[in-house]
Structure 1
Amino acid sequence: MFVEPVKSVGLAHLSYVVGHGGQAVVIDPRRDCEIYLEIAEKYGVAITRIFETHRNEDYVIGSRELARLTGASIHHSGATKFAYGETVEEGDTFRVGGLELMVLETPGHTFDSISLVLRDTTSGSAPLAVFTGDALFIGDVGRTDFFPDRKEEVAGLLYDSIFNKILTLGDQTILYPAHGAGSVCGKGMAPRDFSTLGYERMHNKALTVGSREAFIARKVAERHPLPPYFKQMEAYNQEGTPPAVLPLPRPTPFTPEAFEARMARGLQVVDLRSPEAFAGAFIPGSFAFPLEMLSAYAGFFLEYGTPIGLVAETHDQIDMAVRRLVRIGYEKVVCFLEGGLAAWEQSGRAYDTIPAIHADELVRRIEEDDDFVLVDVRDDDEWDAGHLPGAVHAFLGDLPGNLDVDKSRRITTFCGSGARAIIAASILKQNGWTTVEDSLGSMMACQKRGCPIERD
């Protein structure tokens, strides 16, 4: 018997292969699904069923791709009208060798959320584990803001699902959620991928609020970003219409001349290098998406259907970027700049720079009332926890539309560490702000250097 988690870095997505007796099921597979075939081969099992815990919003589910490769059946809730697969309901059970999976309907995050209770029938009837999707996380619970006109109702549904169903399975039950720390589907998740219901009952802050009313109030008060790409994911995952992507796209190496020519025809240029490298020199008009931030923020800004070209430092970065883009529905990754930015520079083509501003310089400017605008692009909760005096708050995902600052002003972008600040700087440069700087280190550096901090 085995349970093997598969972690997809960037999205903090967790999927699972569960197997025994020559059979296996996959729960919430990712789109680049070769890894499940490799796991099945390692254990000598056949993948016979695929379960989706809900209609996912933040990535393209890999169910149809995996079913095409394995012949496995697909199962999900009937609360949403999926155009593919078979529906399940409360109490349905499925055998996997000596294992049993039982369906619990656990709405709240979405109306179609289900959890899967795992029992080992060879040793007893007590639940061994539960796969909770986005209902219950390690250190948090799922967001409930997808239905703003019914926010109290759905928060109450999530409370009932967790306290009246999931937690009744017993403190011994191992918790297997669909996301870990860093996911946009919750906040405050613990930086570990294992727990039990007993531990969460004691230490998960969302579960220790004291009453159903307090739980609902906590959820209603939460603020989460709503990336525009979620709509594309929801459509793909309900209709089952994403194009097949295996084998994965292999972008073509382009010379600087060919790359520039393709840019003239509308190529979206994604620069994967570090904030420091991008600030030093970049191709005008390109997006700065450091690889570790690509999954979280590309969906706010990149257009679907428009070809993408990559600027990277290594071929490994290109391979990882293709996977991360495919997972959120971007298949048209057509080329990369062979030789990286050095080749662009050596060709004599124009490049731009973004000055890097140290935390001490920010303090000097604030104290001397220097003529600049500090644009803090962190989220609402980060801003409320502390910000620099005189800063303008404009969440990164809403740029440039919500930044009411004259384009002739000198702007310094600011975030938690500098990674989001460089993304913001690239967006502002694309949209006509001419004098843009980046605070490398941003709040982390400010905390070390003793910058003045205000709190709302």
Structure 2
Amino acid sequence: MILEKIKSEGIAHLSYMVVDGNEAAVIDPRRDIEVYLDIARREGANITHVFETHRNEDYVVGSKALAQATGARVFHGQGGEVDHAEPVQEGQTFELGSARLSILETPGHTFDSISIVLADTAFSDEPVAVFTGDALFIGDVGRTDFYPDRREETAAKLYDSIFDKLLPLGDGVQLYPAHGAGSVCGSGMADREFSTLGYERRYNPMLQHGRDEFIKLKRDEHHYQPPYFRKMEELNSAAPERHALPHPKALAPGQFAKRCQDGLKVLDLRTPEAFCGAHIPGSLSMPADVAPAYIGWMVSYDDELGLVIDEPGDIDESLRALYRLGYDKVSAYLTPGMTAWEASGADYAVIPTISAARLLQRYERSEDFVLLDVRAIDEYEAGHLENATHIYLGHLPERLDELPRDKPIVTFCGSGKRAAVAASLLSQHGFENVENCLGSMSACKNLGCRIVR
């Protein structure tokens, strides 16, 4: 028996394959399914079962595409309202060689959430592992805010799912959630991707509370819901059919500039330092590890996109990241990169940067400027610089009119990445005196800046 974890960077998504003999099951597949087909070929197995632990909101699933490619059956929790899967309920079992997969209904994150218990019947009927979807994470539990008028109900269901169904499976049972640290589906996940139910029972902060306190904490928890969540729900209700990654054209600077004039929206996926140093006027900074959480606030699915990347070899990885989020209209990328754009004589823009040390000097001199903190509200409330203006990055496009145009604006976040997105957005909308504080709060903490709460 083989159990293999497949990690999708950026969205911090974890999917799994269980292989025994010539049969295999995939749990929560991503949209680009080649990795599962490759593993099946490597192991000489056929993918016969595909399980969705719930209807996902943060990435496009590959269940239907995988079924089309392999003939596998797709299964989803009952009441999930998806038309590409067979409903399953508590107690159903599926055999793959000596591997037995059993269904637990574990609602809370969503009403259709299921967990899948793995037993190796060659040794015992007792569980060896459990795939918990977004019910129980390593170091956290799933968010329960997708039904705003039923927050206490969903929180109670999640508590009962964890304490009445998952933890009783046994302390030694290995835990395999659908996400790791960095996912928008939780805020306190551990950086490691291995744990047991017993370890989580003892040390997961959310599992140290009684039922009433747990429900209260989850009811009052704050999460942002990016607009693309609705698009993911739409896509995942039917699940997209299999098709290849987009094949954008590699365009030299002159050709790329012409497309920009015709309305191409430019996404610059390079580092904040590179973007601020030189970028195509009007482009939006979107560092690769920031994109999953924020691109949905900034970029329409109807926009035709052109990419600026560090190296042409990065294009496949960049396309996959966008593809998993449902962005298929990528029609071009600049080649061989910004150096060629600059050498062509084409105009380019810069965004000045400011170090935390210089920012501190401005505070000491009582200079007149706006510090725009674009972090999430819980980050801001945990500690911010004096007199900072807080606007969450995802809300910034709708709140630009709250910012003055006659004062310098310094964009600020945890490291400078989200601040680069904010600075590029301000620049797009005609703000002329904008700077990005590279290092942002991380640098300020190291310098001993005065932080208030």
Q: Secondary structure at the match of 1:400?
A: helix
> Which SS does the other structure have where 1:399 is aligned?
helix
The residue that corresponds to 1:216 in the other structure is 215
The 5-angstrom pairing of residues 295-306 of structure 1 reads 295-306=292-303
Q: How far 1:369 sits from its partner (Å)?
A: 1.7
**Structure 2 SS opposite 1:57:** coil
What are structure 2's unaligned runs of at least 5 residues?
A: none
In 1, distance between residues paired with 2:112 and 2:262? 42
Whether contact under 8 Å (2:66, 2:242) holds in the other structure is no
- Provide the alpha-carbon RMSD of the alignment: 1.0
Q: Is the 8 A contact 2:64 2:241 kept in 1?
A: no
- SS for the counterpart of 2:354 is coil
Matches of 1:89 and 1:440, distance apart in 2? 51
Gaps of 5+ in 1: none
The alignment's TM-score, normalised by the length of structure 1, stands at: 0.97
Q: Does 1:232 align with 2:211?
A: no
For residues 174-253 of structure 1, the aligned pairs below 5 Å read 174-209=174-209, 211-240=210-239, 242=240, 244-246=242-244, 248-253=245-250
CA contact 2:298–2:397 (8 Å) conserved in 1: no
Map 1:426-445 onto structure 2 (within 5 A).
426-445=424-443
Deviation by residue 1:193-241 (Cα, 9 ceiling, x = unmatched)? 11000000000000011x110001111121111110000000100122x
Within the alignment, does 1:358 sit opposite 2:349 as a pair?
Answer: no
1:67 alignment partner AA = A
- Tell me, in whole angstroms, the C-alpha distance in 2 between the residues paired with 1:432 and 1:319: 33
Q: Is the 8 A contact 1:3 1:19 kept in 2?
A: yes
Shift of residue 243, structure 1, vs aligned partner: 5.1
Secondary structure of the corresponding residue to residue 443 of structure 1: helix
Which residue number corresponds to residue 421 of structure 1?
Answer: 419
Give, in whole Å, the separation in 1 of the partners of 2:250 and 2:32. Answer: 22
Cα pair 2:68 2:241 within 8 Å, conserved: no
Is 1:111 matched with 2:126? no
Partner of 2:285: 288
Q: Give a deviation string over 1:258-279, Cα, whole Å, max 9, x none.
A: 1122112221111111111111
**Matched residue, 2:341:** 344
**In structure 2, what is the equivalent of residue 448 of structure 1?**
446
Once residues 332 and 128 of structure 2 are traced to their aligned partners in structure 1, the CA distance between those partners, rounded to angstroms, is 47
Instruction: Specify the alignment match of 2:388 in structure 1.
Output: 391
**1:6-45 matches, cutoff 5 A:** 6-45=6-45
- Whether contact under 8 Å (2:312, 2:335) holds in the other structure is no
8 Å Cα contact 1:294-1:321 kept in structure 2:
no
Aligned mates of 1:230, 1:139 — CA distance in 2: 24
* Structure 1 contact 249–333 (Cα < 8 Å) conserved: yes
**Cα distance in 2 between the residues matched to 1:64 and 1:409:** 52
Give per-residue Cα distances to partners, 1:2-25, cap 9 Å, x unaligned.
110000000000000001021000
Partner of 2:378: 381
Measure the CA separation in 2 of the matches of 1:74 and 1:338.
Answer: 41
1:316, 1:234 → 2: CA distance?
Answer: 32
Q: 1:400 maps to which residue?
A: 397
What is the TM-score of this pair, normalised by structure 2? 0.98
Give % identity: 55
- 283-292 or 45-54, which deviates more: 283-292
- Which residue of the partner structure matches residue 407 of structure 2? 409
